[in-house]
Amino acid sequence: QVQLVESGGGLVQPGGSLRLSCTAFGLTLNNYHIGWFRQAPGKEREGVSCITRGDGTTNYVDSVKGRFTISRDNAKNTVYLQLNSLKPEDTAVYYCAAKASLFRNCALSNDYDYWGQGTQVTVSS
């Protein structure tokens, strides 16, 4: 069965860094668009970043551009999200997701097919 497993969350001070991982079981990540989403208490889920299947084109929400970086390691079947210069407003549960689609660039929409269990990121002084 398909399973996405996130790890790497934790508690950090403002300005700190974290590296989130998403490892897939039951599917080959390079054949899917992979997205990172987050949800804070009382807020709707929002798209943060995604990477396109095959060619690796990336996309970011404006609030994280220059601070977050998405990457893929095909040998490990893992996608990473590097979080730098963290702010309190980045606090949320972060989810990775996979989407089967026609060959086009990924988008930060909520219509992905498979979802992980989430990992908590807390930014506080």
Q: How many CB atoms lie within 10 A of CB 64?
A: 21
For the chain, where are the E strands, in sequence order?
A: 3-7, 10-12, 18-25, 33-39, 46-51, 58-60, 68-73, 78-83, 92-99, 114-115, 119-123
pLDDT of residue 102: 72
Distance between CA atoms of residues 98 and 76, nearest Å: 16
Per-residue pLDDT tens over the stretch 107-123: 999 899 999 999 999 99
DSSP state letter for 99: E
**CA end-to-end distance (rounded Å), the chain:** 40
- Tens of pLDDT along 26-85? 999 999 999 999 999 999 999 999 999 988 999 999 999 999 999 999 999 999 999 999
User: What one-character DSSP code corresponds to residue 65?
Assistant: T
